[in-house]
Chains A and B, each alone.
Chain A
Amino acid sequence: MKKVFLFVVLAGFGLMSMISGDEGGAPKKVPSVMLKDLDGNTVNTAEVSNDGNPIVISFWATWCKPCILELNTIAENYDDWQEETGMRLVAVTIDDERNKPKVKPFVDGKGWEYEVWYDSNSELRRAMGVNNPPQTFLLNGEGDIVYSHNGFMPGDEEELYDEILKIADIEE
């Protein structure tokens, strides 16, 4: 029993540190999953684009306090960020059927101007390997995932914005 235990731990952590290292392969993209947006339109997640400008994909839920803090914090700066870098944010809600009807009123109630996708059965969440929200991915103009971050603490938005600035095509 102990040996199995040891082996699993060893294998698990070995595998992880292997994969989390620099893969040197092709850059990661958003996998293709068919989701619906707030208006009921079907979106193919792999086709997300923003005219060559940065995209932030943020996984959240109405019951997730750090997620709401993150999206509220970004909302306070959203106009400036968009103006300066051309970025936009897609908020992927993993709320299931219990809370799904509250998502649209919630987004409007908070005054968020993000595009919102429903991932009610966690399909995109699984495809992108998200454990628990909030989880944020940053895509460059080619759709490559260049940065990702789990959790949110006040101040994290500044690190995210620094990363956005690195890839934004800013006209001097």
Chain B
Amino acid sequence: MKKVLLGILLGSCLGVFAQPSLSGGQVTGNHETTFQYLNTDTIIGAFAPEQKVVMNSYTNVNYINGKFAAGMRLESYLPAIAGYPAFYSGTGVGYKYLQYNGDFVSFTAGNFYDQFGSGMIFRSYTEPALGLDNVMNGASIKVRPVNGIELKGVYGRQRFNFADGQVIWSEGIVRGLDADVNFNDLIPSFSESKLKITAGASIVSKYQPANNDTLRIPKNVAAYGGRISLRYSGFFMDAEYIHKINDPTQLNGYVYNTGHGALINVGYSRKGLGINLTAKSLDNMVFRSDRVVEGNQLFINYLPATSNMHTYILPGTLYPYAPNFAGEIGYQLDVLYKIPKKTKLGGKYGTDLNLNVSVATDRVRHTSSENFDVDRISYEGRPFDMTDSLFNFDFNLNITRKLNKKWKVAATYYHFIFNNDVNKVTNFASGYIKSDIIVLDVTYKIARKHTLRVEAQNLWTEKDRGDWAAFLAEYTFAPHWFVAVMDQWNYGNSNENQRLHFVLGSVGYLTGNSRIAVSYGKQREGILCIGGVCRPVPATNGLTFNFTHTF
């Protein structure tokens, strides 16, 4: 540990004396390092690795000069932090690219992230917190032949693993084309219209060699679809439909069914009011560049999550919902309303209300007319054809009100019905887990730069590990410091020996573009979700040091 600290000091000192000479062009980038010192704590189920200390680190650097850009990311997992995918190890270059950005054409060689439409057909992205990265390795081109039209082509292999500092690329190759048309830009006489129309179409195909004695596996599998987006004053509608041809994979049991994805958002908003209704239908829509890989790797597309992303710890990590891989039908209603300020009900500053309801169910599998022995089509799925088999129900209502210059209060109520047989998050229950949660969040401004925030949360459930309470106190003094302490207490566990406290203390320092945070204590095993993709994280007991910097 001492040596490491010495190294940090030395490195920083060296840096101060170095004088890079950059004439023309600019360097941007960011860095993040997470160290953990882990203890074994058999009561909560935390186990220290042999190395005791683990570290994740990455630095992105972009060099931009006029229309040219180049960049890379160096990554280190020595070894990876607790709960991170085990296939991350070593130090090496995880991402590199060369890019030209012209007005008419842009192209990238090497690695690139991109997305077509809502991502239901193609989305290459990274979530470092989840260890998720399906960056493409190949080339991409964007052409804007006339104002209002953009054509994109992508071609490459996908990032699969990062082993001993080397990226392992997918065996399969992904090829895609996308066209996007903005009619208001394209047609001059339409440019001032209140009606805004954009539309797009995509096709993506993957190639993977196949050797199978019993089945004729398609080596090339395509998906295609279109989208439209309309805006008229406060009203909006976005819709996308994707069709995937037969795609036998290990996950779907090598059936030759087609797949579909449909996503519709309709809404209205004006100052002080926002309404959004989402409808989604997915069937056999996992689209990967490798037919035998499972888990979260090598996704070509993104399965849209249509439930609220909860950020408080109990509603966010105990029963979080992610789309079912096989398919589902989902609906969501989201309403935001601000009771106007200076009214009796709204108070001096107004009051924010947010209602969110979402439901996801299984889809109907039409089997009667199928002849499985001949065509290996196990069923037919039709868009929005739902069953009453519930996957998830989520009701939540939030009220936020600033009382005066010093006090602000937010209260949220949640009701979840979670089907643990479909998306398993706990070994202590089966079937439906019903839970009710209340979260109170109070902010008190002590002085101009001193603020105290307190969260009190309680979760009631008859199943799983029973009731939980959580308490957080966070003291910030701008512009540099924050101190926080959190306790999660499983007071309702039916096993009295498991009525545990998980106490975690944190201290952070922010300055300009750097943030250093140190936390010590116990973290409960749970599910970490970002953007509808989830990963289980193990219980840990120890010290975590996190440093981020933007340059």
Contact = CB atoms under 8 A, between A and B. Distances in A.
A105 B336 CA distance: 7
Contact of A10 (B7, B26, B55, B354): B7
A111 B272 contact: yes
Q: Which 10 A-B pairs have the closest CB atoms?
A: A105-B274, A17-B15, A109-B336, A155-B478, A13-B11, A14-B11, A25-B22, A129-B30, A155-B449, A108-B269
Contact of A131 (B20, B74, B548): B548
- Describe B's contact surface by its main secondary structure: strand
Nearest to B266: A101
Interface of B: 3-4, 7-8, 10-12, 14-16, 18-33, 55, 57, 59-62, 64, 67, 69, 74, 76, 78, 91, 101, 113-115, 118-119, 123, 125-126, 142, 150, 182, 184-185, 196, 198, 229, 231, 234, 236, 238, 265, 267, 269-276, 278, 302, 304-306, 309, 311, 334, 336-338, 352, 354, 445, 448-449, 451, 476-479, 482, 510, 512-515, 531-532, 548-551
Contact of B512 (A17, A29, A148): A148
A11 B57 CA distance: 12
B531 A150 contact: no
A20 B306 CA distance: 40
A170 interface: no
B338 A110 contact: yes
A122 B118 CA distance: 14
Given A8-B78, A122-B125, A98 B551 contact: no
B174 to A, nearest CB: 16
A153 B548 contact: no
Interface stretch (A39-47, A49-57, A81-89): A39-47
A25 B551 contact: no
A122 B267 contact: no
A108 B272 contact: yes
Contacts of B532: 98
A119 B31 CA distance: 20
Give the residue among A9, A127, A128 with the most B Cβ atoms within 10 A.
A9
Contacts of A150: 510, 512-515, 548, 550
A59 to B, nearest CB: 10
A148 B549 CA distance: 11
A162 to B, nearest CB: 11
A65 B479 CA distance: 17
B78 A154 contact: no
Query: Which size class do A's interface residues fall under?
Result: 35 or more
Given A13-B15, A16-B549, 5 more contacts: A18-B18, A23-B22, A23-B27, A34-B142, A111-B271
Contact of B11 (A17, A65, A98): A17
B276 A99 contact: no
A18 to B, nearest CB: 4
Contacts of A130: 30, 550
Given A102-B334, A153-B478, A25 B21 contact: yes
Contacts of A23: 20, 22, 27
Contacts of A5: 4, 55, 78
Contacts of A4: 78, 91
Contacts of A98: 304-306, 309, 531-532
A155 B448 contact: yes
A149 interface: yes
A67 B272 CA distance: 19
A14 B21 CA distance: 16
Contact of B14 (A14, A154, A156, A159): A14
Contact of A109 (B62, B269, B513): B269
A131 B32 contact: yes
Contacts of A93: none
Contact of A21 (B16, B354, B445): B16
A35 B349 CA distance: 33
A110 to B, nearest CB: 7
A15 B101 contact: no
A97 B74 CA distance: 27
A35 B279 CA distance: 25
A101 B332 CA distance: 11
Given A25-B21, A101-B265, A15 B513 contact: no
10 contacts: A12-B59, A25-B22, A31-B62, A40-B198, A108-B274, A109-B337, A127-B62, A127-B69, A130-B550, A156-B479
